[in-house]
Structure 1
């Protein structure tokens, strides 16, 4: 067996074990309320950080104003509970129009 195959198998077993821990320990481990609140806040912070880097940067530099404009429109449409297709199309059209007008 080559090292690559062994590494793939080890990662597969590790991934399966990691996913199995949740259902196995559910109900057996009780986390304090404060830790649960911090974990929920951490998830929100992580998602916002991913959104910010995806919306504002491209190749390590500022992506221009068109992409954040599209993300802003998508956020407003999602907040107003528009259908997913409308949110995606609204963001794409906004970004395209801003780029076409030279906003960047």
Structure 2
């Protein structure tokens, strides 16, 4: 039951922050510093999620097939492959390495 209380509390806090965002004066959002931060924030959040999901299992850092899949995905992106091809190559790489016993 405690987990549900935490989920509901976090949801209420997130909703409160969203509502509070509507009260921010537009002048504050038009400042160059705020514009730079809001432009870079999605990329930084996505990068942190990718790193966290690739190199961690629970509280431990690991180097497994997911890392190899990420390396293949980066290579495919550098070669300007379509996004679906990048995802498929990364997934196949990780799957084959796991099948070969590298978990």
So what's the TM-score if we normalise by structure 2?
Answer: 0.61
Give the match for residue 40 of structure 2.
Answer: 41
- Contact residue 68 and residue 94 of structure 2 kept, 8 A: yes
| Structure 1 position 58 matched with structure 2 position 39 | no
Q: Which structure 2 segments of 5+ residues have no match?
A: 1-7
Q: Which structure 1 segments of 5+ residues have no match?
A: 1-7
**Mean alpha-carbon deviation: is it higher for 17-26 or for 48-57?**
17-26
Q: Work out which of the two has the higher radius of gyration on C-alpha atoms and give 1 or 2.
A: 1
- In structure 2, relative to structure 1, the CA distance for the partners of 1:19 and 1:63 (3 Å cut) is same
Q: Deviations over 1:15-74 (max 9, x none)?
A: 4x8667778989676521122112323332222111100111122223432111112212
**Mean alpha-carbon deviation: is it higher for 22-31 or for 92-101?**
22-31
What is the aligned-residue RMSD (CA, Å)?
3.4
- 1:81 is paired with a residue of what secondary structure? coil
| Structure 1 position 74 matched with structure 2 position 77 | no
User: How many pairs are equivalent?
Assistant: 96
Task: Please give the alpha-carbon distance, in whole angstroms, between the structure 2 residues aligned to 1:73 and 1:91.
Answer: 6
Give the match for residue 5 of structure 1.
Answer: none
So what's the TM-score if we normalise by structure 1?
Answer: 0.60
